[in-house]
């Protein structure tokens, strides 16, 4: 029976095989140029396996350990797309790693493997194992430069990640102790049968939920668990920062949505209470992220605090989903559309930064002055992405915010949307600080800033899709709605 279900994890097995192949090839060849091509082929093969499962009816496989549904498959494709783009953006950057290029690509793919398992997991044990698989790979990648700043970032990420992991596991233990189950549908059946009308009537369930929110709060960089973000983003290799900012965050929101909508989506009083907890955290998160980003002079730290603020906007959709399990499909669709938009936009921004910083050897915003004269296409690409992060037309960022805010207003969270809109206005200041430097500043040098063709292709793909999503969002909205239906809301 188990062997018949192997095909359900074919995407993960394919990625694992190529990760191992990368290590073996790296041992026996001196020319490392083949490594990124093997990594890209591996991700594309895995994506092909995902597409073969798209039309398969939703199924719970391996004794209800993972779910094969379009919600999980959508996020697997998103993670694989992010992996391909990061590999392409790493083309020239990995020369800094000298003899460890094979290990770099292999760890990147193993992290993607963990995230892919995470978005399809429907058992607390599977969720924890998948989370640790992806996290351990990222701990190593963050410190891959082996200099003082990178090593410090890796150590901070490891220590704080271990604490967050322990908190999450403790919360899962409380839930297991109360319900006697680890599979999410089984937990849902138990919780629905409890004669309660408030979380305060059952401290064990309350503590379990708070600890789980806290554990995943670290993963998505929510306040007060965001303290690792600026140092890790600045110290890590820039391609790793790009991957960490999008793939890890997308998987984090996917698993939170699955856990809370599947296990704690009913009864109504329960999902209303955890949704309000998230809404309050949300308001603080976006405000802290935006206000702190204003004073940043390093572009990677700026995008680090921006990532915290963007997590706040995403939590608007999460809170709105929880406020109504019956009509929350607009909010859920908005959350997934926002994640798709943010992934492509933030990756595009980081790809441009990788190409620019790798040539000028600086991440300071002041050194980006006059970049429009030194590299017009890179400056234009970064500008498009920053406009989308701000939420202005004609980009996907505007549609994403309208979509997610509409879902929140429908669920009575107008106060939260007002805070989010004010924060969006604030964010325009620091995003356009970078744009102003590139377009109006005087360049420190007349030397042209060039980049490799994989970086050009990756940046062009991100910018093109971001603009198309902003002008013709219909097809993408339909895709997100298809994924949402698998959550049963």
The secondary structure of residue 82, as a DSSP letter, is H
In this structure, are residues 243 and 236 in contact, taking their beta carbons and an 8 Å threshold? no
Distance CA 279, CA 15 (A): 36
Q: Is residue 45 part of a domain?
A: no
**Domain range for 276:** 267-489
Q: What is the pLDDT along the chain (489 residues), one digit of tens a residue?
A: 566 788 888 999 999 999 999 989 888 887 778 888 999 999 999 999 999 998 888 888 888 888 888 888 999 999 999 999 999 988 888 877 777 888 889 999 999 999 999 999 999 999 999 999 999 999 999 988 888 888 888 888 899 889 999 999 999 999 999 888 889 988 888 888 777 767 777 888 888 888 998 888 888 888 888 888 888 888 888 899 989 888 888 999 999 988 988 888 777 777 788 888 889 999 999 999 999 999 988 898 999 999 999 999 999 988 888 776 554 567 788 888 999 999 999 999 999 998 888 888 888 888 888 888 888 899 999 999 999 999 898 999 999 999 899 888 888 889 999 999 999 999 999 999 999 999 988 887 778 887 788 888 989 999 999 999 999 888 888 888 877 776 655
Instruction: Write down the pLDDT at residue 486.
Output: 62
In this structure, are residues 230 and 157 in contact, taking their beta carbons and an 8 Å threshold? no
Number of domains in the chain: 1
The DSSP H or E segment spanning 68 is: strand 66-68
Which structure tokens are listed for 126? 């599977």
Distance CA 62, CA 40 (A): 29
Distance CA 113, CA 17 (A): 11
Q: Is residue 78 part of a domain?
A: no
pLDDT tens, residue by residue, 218-238: 888 888 888 888 888 888 888
Q: Is residue 149 part of a domain?
A: no
Where residue 127 falls (left for φ over 0; alpha for ψ -120 to 50; beta otherwise) is: alpha
Q: Is residue 360 part of a domain?
A: yes
Which structure tokens are listed for 418? 């007002």
Max CA pair span of the chain: 72
pLDDT tens, residue by residue, 278-321: 899 999 999 999 999 999 888 989 999 999 999 999 999 888 88
Helix (H, G, I), strand (E, B) or coil at 420: helix
Q: Is residue 380 part of a domain?
A: yes
Q: Is residue 213 part of a domain?
A: no
In this structure, are residues 245 and 138 in contact, taking their beta carbons and an 8 Å threshold? no
Q: Is residue 271 part of a domain?
A: yes
Q: Is residue 374 part of a domain?
A: yes
Write the CA distances from 407 to 20, 254, 275, 280, 481, integer angstroms: 43, 17, 14, 17, 13
| Buried b or exposed e, range 133-144, using 16+ CB within 10 angstroms | bbbbbbbbbbbb
pLDDT tens, residue by residue, 91-150: 888 877 777 888 889 999 999 999 999 999 999 999 999 999 999 999 999 988 888 888
Distance CA 283, CA 142 (A): 29
């Amino acid at each position: 029976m188990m062997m018949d279900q192997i095909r359900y994890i074919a995407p993960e097995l394919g990625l694992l095989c190529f990760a191992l192949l990368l290590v073996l090839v790296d041992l026996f060849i001196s020319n490392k140029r083949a490594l990124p091509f093997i990594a890209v082929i591996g991700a594309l093969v895995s994506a092909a396996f995902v597409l073969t499962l798209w039309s398969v009816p939703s199924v719970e496989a391996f004794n209800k350990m993972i779910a094969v549904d379009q919600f999980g498959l959508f996020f697997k494709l998103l993670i694989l797309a992010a992996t391909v783009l990061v590999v392409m953006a790493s083309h020239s950057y990995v020369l800094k790693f000298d003899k460890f290029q094979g290990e770099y690509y292999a760890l990147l793919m193993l992290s993607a493997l963990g995230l892919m398992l995470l978005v399809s997991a429907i058992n607390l044990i599977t969720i924890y194992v998948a989370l640790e698989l992806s996290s351990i790979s990222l701990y190593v990648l963050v410190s891959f430069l082996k200099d003082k700043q990178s090593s410090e970032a890796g150590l901070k990420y490891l220590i704080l990640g271990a604490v967050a992991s322990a908190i999450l596991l403790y919360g899962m233990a409380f839930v297991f102790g109360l319900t006697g189950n680890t599979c999410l549908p089984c937990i849902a059946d138990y919780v629905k049968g409890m004669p309660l009308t408030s979380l305060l009537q059952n401290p064990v369930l309350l503590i379990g939920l708070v600890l789980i929110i806290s554990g995943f709060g670290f993963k998505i960089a929510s306040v007060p668990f965001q303290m690792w973000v600026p140092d890790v983003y600045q110290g890590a290799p820039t391609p790793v920062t790009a991957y960490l900012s999008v793939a890890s965050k997308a998987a984090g929101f996917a698993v939170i949505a699955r856990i809370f909508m599947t296990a704690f989506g009913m009864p109504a009083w329960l999902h209303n209470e955890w949704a309000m907890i998230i809404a309050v955290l949300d308001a603080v998160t976006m405000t802290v992220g935006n206000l702190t980003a204003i004073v940043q002079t390093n572009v990677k730290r700026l995008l680090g605090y921006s990532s915290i603020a963007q997590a706040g906007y995403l939590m608007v959709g999460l809170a709105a989903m929880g406020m109504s399990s019956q009509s929350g499909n607009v909010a859920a669709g908005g959350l997934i559309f926002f994640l798709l938009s943010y992934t492509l936009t933030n990756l595009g921004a980081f790809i441009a930064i990788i190409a620019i910083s790798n040539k000028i050897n600086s991440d300071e915003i002041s050194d980006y002055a006059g970049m429009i004269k030194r590299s017009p296409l890179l400056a234009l690409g970064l500008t498009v992405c920053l406009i989308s992060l701000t939420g202005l037309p004609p980009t996907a960022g505007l549609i994403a915010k309208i979509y997610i805010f509409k879902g929140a207003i429908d669920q009575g969270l107008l106060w939260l949307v007002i805070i989010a809109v004010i924060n969006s206005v604030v964010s325009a200041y620091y995003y356009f600080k970078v744009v102003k430097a590139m377009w109006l500043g005087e360049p420190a040098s007349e030397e042209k800033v060039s980049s490799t063709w994989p970086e050009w292709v990756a940046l062009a793909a991100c910018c093109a899709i971001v603009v198309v999503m902003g002008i013709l969002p219909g097809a993408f909205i339909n895709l997100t709605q298809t994924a949402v239906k698998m959550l049963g809301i």
